[in-house]
Amino acid sequence: MFSTRVPEDRRPNALARTLAAARARGPVIDLTVSNPTRVGIRYPADLLDGLANPAALTYEPAPFGRRDAREAIAETYARRGLRIPAGRIVLTSSTSEAYSLLFKLLCDPGHSDVLTPVPSYPLFDHLTRLDGVRQGRYALEFHGAWTIDLEALDRAWTSETRAVLAVSPNNPTGSVIREDDAAELVARCAERNAALILDEVFCDYPLASAFEERRALDAPACLLSRLGGLSKTIALPQVKLGWIALDGPPDLVDEALDRLELICDTYLSVSTPVQVAVRALLDKGASVRRQVLDRLRANEATLRATIDGRSGATVLPTDGGWSAVIRVPATRTEEALVLDLLEQDSVVVHPGYFFDFPHEAFLVVSLLPEPAVFARGARLIQDRLDAA
């Protein structure tokens, strides 16, 4: 069911060479930018002052992180109506490291499977390989809204499946996991002795109404690991802090914490200054989060006003996150369209195959660029589609 139209390396060479040539000719409009620190967001001048707190001069190693830091993270869940005590929160240096720790907890290298969604960000390909974990894939289907293809999920499931990964909001589709899909995932994981890993790094960025917490994920019947981090929550990817919030049956949570303690104590990867500063970072970072959310919503509206319904193109509905998907007529390959945009218009976009969309033809754009830049890029995409 999955596309074989793209080699495993995702054909980076032609795109990379064309991008380098375009940059050599002059400025480009980068509609793939994912670094919030490079798109004109105004950060409070004192945002990082907490990193110089003298309390960080004392080193008190703790496998799961400082208690006060974990309490600050617990409060962010409480504001969402989720009761996750600090004792069930594990600090990590990043969300990527959180995945690695969970793979070490749940899997036997070379013998265990984890299931990941497609379309999705290709980072999972690398994370699973680096930990020696086999990757199976299940499809997200679009029929006016994105849903899990449960038959594909069951086909991918093996006797060695130890975890299912879900991303909500998904990158790049922007889709939030539906209540019925959440219930199906929890039921399967509980019945088949697997864990559910829920990546929620974009949960602070609803593009329409606020996200509703899924009832099936409240006191779930399986081990549930929620992932988050400062990289998205306050748009500071360089301030390295992520976390795992564990939920589920008490015996499963206690066993997971016992085993994670040894894993985390072996690495002790989270720096003391960021742990001391995290409460202040979360408080002061609220203004940054509001700016990013306003930017995302404005650019998404611009994209729809410029492209949606013209020249056969459709901007797919998105619940939240930092990306948008444009479905375009499959009159030529995505790669040909992306290369034309680069060579003739100096506009950088992602082809759908980068995210394993199962067929032609999709473009993926970031909603982070400055509004004037984004509007110019959207018009050039539409002009290119009109010309085709």
Tens-digit pLDDT profile for residues 96-149: 999 999 999 999 999 999 999 999 999 999 999 999 999 999 999 999 999 999
Q: Is the peptide bond before 12 cis (omega within 30 degrees of 0)?
A: no
Write down the H helix ranges in 37-196.
67-78, 95-106, 123-130, 150-156, 179-191
Q: pLDDT (tens digit, 9 = 90+) per residue, 299-328?
A: 999 999 999 988 899 999 999 999 999 999
Hey, what are 31's tokens?
């509609």
Residues facing residue 325 across a β-bridge: 364
Hey, what are 312's tokens?
């056969």
- pLDDT value at 56 more than 80: yes
Among the ranges given (154-163, 267-276, 333-342), the one the predictor scored with the smallest mean pLDDT: 333-342
- pLDDT value at 177 more than 60: yes
Output the pLDDT for position 69: 98
Please report how the helices 286-306 and 272-284 are oriented relative to each other, as an axis angle in degrees rounded to 10.
60
The torsion of the CA quartet 323, 164, 136, 188, rounded to 10 degrees, works out to -130
- pLDDT value at 4 more than 70: no
Output the pLDDT for position 13: 66
Amino acid at 215: R
Sorted by where each starts, the structural domains of the chain and their CATH numbers stand as 12-42+287-387 (3.90.1150.10), 49-284 (3.40.640.10)
Hey, what are 384's tokens?
């290119």
Hey, what are 229's tokens?
């981090």
Residues contacting residue 387 through CB under 8 Å, at least 6 positions apart: none
Q: What average pLDDT score do residues 215-242 get?
A: 97
Confidence of residue 228 (pLDDT cuts 50, 70, 90): very high
Q: pLDDT (tens digit, 9 = 90+) per residue, 201-210?
A: 999 999 988 8
Q: Where are the beta strands (DSSP E) in the chain?
A: 29-30, 89-92, 113-118, 134-142, 146-148, 161-167, 195-199, 224-229, 242-247, 314-315, 323-327, 347-348, 350-351, 362-366
Confidence of residue 14 (pLDDT cuts 50, 70, 90): low
Q: What average pLDDT score do residues 245-258 get?
A: 98
Output the pLDDT for position 346: 94
- pLDDT value at 371 more than 60: yes
Name which of 237, 267, 217 is nearest 104 in CA terms.
267
Distance of CA 246 to CAs 84, 149, 155, 170, 209, Å?
Answer: 8, 26, 27, 20, 26
Name which of 221, 233, 107, 223 is nearest 160 in CA terms.
107
The mean predicted confidence, pLDDT, of the chain is 94
Buried (b) or exposed (e) across 302-315, using 16+ Cβ within 10 A?
bbeebbeeeeebbb
Output the pLDDT for position 6: 43
Output the pLDDT for position 307: 96
CA 173 to chain centre: 10
Residues facing residue 364 across a β-bridge: 325, 350
Output the pLDDT for position 193: 97
Output the pLDDT for position 27: 87
Residues contacting residue 357 through CB under 8 Å, at least 6 positions apart: 3, 118, 119
Number of residues written out for the chain: 388
Output the pLDDT for position 2: 39
- pLDDT value at 24 more than 80: no
Output the pLDDT for position 23: 73
**Gap between the Cα atoms of 277 and 1, Å rounded:** 47
Output the pLDDT for position 209: 85
